[in-house]
A and B are shown apart, each in its own frame.
Chain A
Amino acid sequence: MTGLVWMLLANAGVLLGARRLTTRFATGHSATDAALFFLFRLMLISAAVLAAGALHVLHPWVLGLAGGVAAGALIAAGAHREFLPWWKVANVPAVYLLAALAARLLLHAWFLSPFLGDVTSYHLPKVAEWVVHGTIFTDLGPDRRSWFPAGLELVDTWWVVFLRHDVLIEMAGIEFLALGAASTVALASRLGLAPSAALLAGAVYATVPAMMIQSVFAINDAAVAALVVMAAALIVGKVHPALILATAGVGLGVKPTFAFAAPGMIVLWLWLRKAGSAEPPSPRPSRAVWAVAALALLIGSVWYGRNAVLFGNPLYPAGTAALQFGEKSLLHRVGPSPENLAKNLSDLDGRILDRRRGAGGMLEYIAGWGTGAFAFGLIGLLWAVRTSTNWRRIAACFLLSLASVLTLAENDIWFLRFVLFFPAILAVAAAALAEEVRPLRLPLVLVTLLTLVGTFFTEDMPREAFLRSARLDWRRRSFGPDVGVPDVPYSRVGCYGDVSSMAYLLYGPDFSRDVVYLRPKSSEELIESMERRNLPALYAMTMYDRNGWGGLLARCVASGRLRRLGPGSPWYVLDPK
């Protein structure tokens, strides 16, 4: 209960702070300002978690107290009067679509808990460690991909630290989705769509299956996509470059794939600068806007700086042998490759119809763009680029960004999650088409609604699994047993793993279990570490056996000191001498 109070206070402080920053650096374009509000909120959250974590005070009461003090000061300064009253929200179909989307997302947020392999293996173990130890200087877990930038994890931490429970962890992705939707509305509005059509564009983009699903599956590709769309909206709106840099800072901090899409955005910026504009220029904010950009760049670059210092490679473990597993290697080669482009384009062609699989968190073998963006969007884009120079420019730059990502991304069964910014321009084109050709408006709304309802259950979270999760007591809700991590009656365990060990599931949804990561060189050292650190049980799991991982475990079992809890179980218990 105390945690809930701290959470409310901290969120009040951040909401009011973001609103005040939006007022201070307003562009005069309401949709763009709405997107900026979400960006500032995410920046403040990230800065708060990062600062508290760096100072070893990542505790609910510290963040809650700071938020409460900030909220008090901002209310005294009148920031609470700057919010738009809810009754002034437009009464158009897109608003109802967005309301239905919000209901779906909240249901998912409440009833789901993290289960995807990547999420539980390298995104969230560090969140668990940060929350348990109150600092960001912790063991990041056995999967070396934990060293990748962690911008989304900062916001994940915000949503778990107060309650010390992950029941609301999906709210982090939802915040980024809101930013993506607002940015799409802003982009549509800048392209001349009427407010109701611009809102429909936002709704179509936010209901792209891949965006909706990723947002509640605690994975960061939708978040990056939202920030690329935000950058595009700011560039098209010709706002102050510091605000574009701020977006880039936050984007780079979430995932380096933000930079993959940069070429198209840079060309767009140069092109529009040269072309001039019929629109009145945005009001020029004070020089303090550069401080906002500097803060965002600091938040985003901290991970790269850390890796450069520790490993001599800002992109570690990408481009190193750290992710090499015998013949299989991940991210070994960094940089553009025509082979990547050819393979990825061919696979985009094969996956764009989403035939092979249903929508899922990792987008295996599918694009996940949905019928609204795909069918209405492609035809709408075709029509729009024939009739408008502005559209031609923007579509060309989105295509350049798409090609850039496809040239840089390794070809695998999931790479289309890196181009989720592209459906945004399709969503805007779809709404523009429906605005121009009236008979298409109702079908677009219906198809969007069908997508919204029809993808509630996903390929990796079908109805049975979802309902089983929903029936559990929320305090103990975890997908551990469903994905091969059965619960054990120990409050303190060791973890001996490597890539894809799903270590996050060991902590429990309330982070009540102590997890100690072990990296033994020999079977004797493993047993000795468990005895010395008072660990009665060991969780051992990896996707690829390397460095004698399996042999070491086998020797422990053969020595009679470790006993496996059933055939195929990842759990071992320490037997007395």
Chain B
Amino acid sequence: MQGESSGNIGVMTLAWRLRESLAGVALVGVRLHFRPDPFDWIVALGVCWALLPLGSHPHYRNAVLCAGVGALSALHLQAQILHMLAVSNLLP
């Protein structure tokens, strides 16, 4: 990321981290209030946003990012694969 904070959240203050995390929690809360579907893309993003600042170790960061990508990929792919099979006439 071109020499800025380079994803190194260790330099952030605790207050900044908490504020960032609360933003993610708020996003999830608002989403669940208006559309109570816990398996949802904004919820996945919010959870990722909330968890990302809470640890500074690269393995922790990578785990959060991979989990976020995994959740969103699963959400997107489950319908996509069915559509792909349907238009290819491969569904029984």
Does A pair with B?
A: yes
Q: Which residues of A contact B5 (CB under 8 A)?
A: 387-388
Q: Which residues of A contact B15 (CB under 8 A)?
A: none
* Contact between B88 and A457, CB atoms less than 8 A apart: yes
Beyond the given pairs A383-B52, A389-B4, 9 more chain A to chain B contacts, judged by CB atoms under 8 angstroms and listed by A's residue number, are A353-B75, A376-B73, A386-B20, A387-B4, A387-B6, A388-B2, A454-B80, A455-B84, A457-B87
* Contact between A437 and B65, CB atoms less than 8 A apart: yes
* Contact between B87 and A354, CB atoms less than 8 A apart: no
On A, residues with C-beta under 8 Å from B are 191-192, 349, 352-355, 357-359, 370-371, 374-376, 378-379, 382-384, 386-391, 432-433, 436-437, 439-440, 443, 447, 450-451, 454-459, 461-464
* Contact between B87 and A383, CB atoms less than 8 A apart: no
- Interface residue? B77 (CB, 8 A): yes
Contact flag A391-B1 (CB < 8 Å), given A357-B83, A462-B87: yes
Q: Which residue of B lies closest to A356 (CB)?
A: B79
19 A–B contacts from the bound complex (CB under 8 Å): A349-B42, A353-B75, A355-B79, A358-B86, A371-B73, A371-B76, A376-B72, A379-B48, A379-B65, A382-B52, A386-B53, A389-B4, A390-B4, A436-B1, A454-B81, A457-B88, A459-B83, A462-B86, A462-B87
- Interface residue? B56 (CB, 8 A): no
Contact flag A354-B79 (CB < 8 Å), given A378-B45, A454-B84, A457-B88: yes
Main secondary structure of the interface of B (DSSP, over half): helix
List B residues 28-62 near A (Cβ within 8 Å). Answer: 41-42, 45, 48-49, 52-53, 62
Q: Which residues of B contact A349 (CB under 8 A)?
A: 42
* Contact between B83 and A374, CB atoms less than 8 A apart: no
* Contact between A379 and B1, CB atoms less than 8 A apart: no
Q: In the bound complex, what is the Cα–Cα distance between A454 and B86 (angstroms)?
A: 10
- Interface residue? B26 (CB, 8 A): no
Q: Which residue of A lies closest to B86 (CB)?
A: A358
* Contact between A388 and B1, CB atoms less than 8 A apart: yes
* Contact between A463 and B88, CB atoms less than 8 A apart: yes
Q: In the bound complex, what is the Cα–Cα distance between A355 and B79 (angstroms)?
A: 5
Q: Which residues of A contact B53 (CB under 8 A)?
A: 386
Nearest chain A CB to B16 CB, angstrom units: 10
Q: Which residues of A contact B88 (CB under 8 A)?
A: 454, 456-457, 462-463
Contact flag A459-B87 (CB < 8 Å), given A192-B1, A383-B7, A387-B6: yes
On B, residues with C-beta under 8 Å from A are 1-2, 4-7, 20, 41-42, 45, 48-49, 52-53, 62, 65-66, 68-69, 72-73, 75-77, 79-81, 83-84, 86-89
Q: Which residues of B contact A370 (CB under 8 A)?
A: 76, 80
Q: Which residue of B lies closest to A381 (CB)?
A: B45
Q: Which residue of B lies closest to A389 (CB)?
A: B4
* Contact between A386 and B87, CB atoms less than 8 A apart: no
* Contact between A458 and B73, CB atoms less than 8 A apart: no
* Contact between B2 and A378, CB atoms less than 8 A apart: no
* Contact between B69 and A388, CB atoms less than 8 A apart: no
Q: In the bound complex, what is the Cα–Cα distance between A577 and B74 (angstroms)?
A: 68
* Contact between B79 and A353, CB atoms less than 8 A apart: yes
Nearest chain A CB to B15 CB, angstrom units: 15
Q: In the bound complex, what is the Cα–Cα distance between A437 and B80 (angstroms)?
A: 25
* Contact between A439 and B66, CB atoms less than 8 A apart: yes
* Contact between B87 and A463, CB atoms less than 8 A apart: yes
* Contact between A433 and B69, CB atoms less than 8 A apart: yes
* Contact between A379 and B69, CB atoms less than 8 A apart: yes
Nearest chain B CB to A112 CB, angstrom units: 14
* Contact between B73 and A443, CB atoms less than 8 A apart: yes
Q: Which residues of A contact B86 (CB under 8 A)?
A: 358, 462
Q: Which residues of B contact A355 (CB under 8 A)?
A: 79
Q: Which residues of A contact B7 (CB under 8 A)?
A: 383, 386-387, 436
Q: Which residues of B contact A359 (CB under 8 A)?
A: 83
The residue among A192, A376, A386, A450 with the most chain B CB atoms within 10 A of its own CB is A386
- CB contact between B84 and one of A358, A376, A390, A436 (< 8 Å): that residue: A358
- CB contact between B76 and one of A354, A357, A383, A391 (< 8 Å): that residue: A354
The residue among A352, A437, A463 with the most chain B CB atoms within 10 A of its own CB is A437
Nearest chain A CB to B47 CB, angstrom units: 11
Contact flag A352-B69 (CB < 8 Å), given A387-B1, A454-B80: no
Q: In the bound complex, what is the Cα–Cα distance between A275 and B5 (angstroms)?
A: 18
Nearest chain A CB to B51 CB, angstrom units: 11
Q: Which residue of A lies closest to B79 (CB)?
A: A355
Q: In the bound complex, what is the Cα–Cα distance between A456 and B87 (angstroms)?
A: 9
Nearest chain A CB to B64 CB, angstrom units: 9
Q: In the bound complex, what is the Cα–Cα distance between A443 and B87 (angstroms)?
A: 24
Q: In the bound complex, what is the Cα–Cα distance between A453 and B53 (angstroms)?
A: 37
Q: In the bound complex, what is the Cα–Cα distance between A163 and B88 (angstroms)?
A: 32
Q: Which residues of A contact B42 (CB under 8 A)?
A: 349
Q: In the bound complex, what is the Cα–Cα distance between A464 and B88 (angstroms)?
A: 8
* Contact between B87 and A379, CB atoms less than 8 A apart: no
Q: In the bound complex, what is the Cα–Cα distance between A358 and B53 (angstroms)?
A: 37
Nearest chain B CB to A436 CB, angstrom units: 7
The residue among B2, B20, B41, B52 with the most chain A CB atoms within 10 A of its own CB is B2
Q: In the bound complex, what is the Cα–Cα distance between A439 and B61 (angstroms)?
A: 12
* Contact between B76 and A353, CB atoms less than 8 A apart: yes
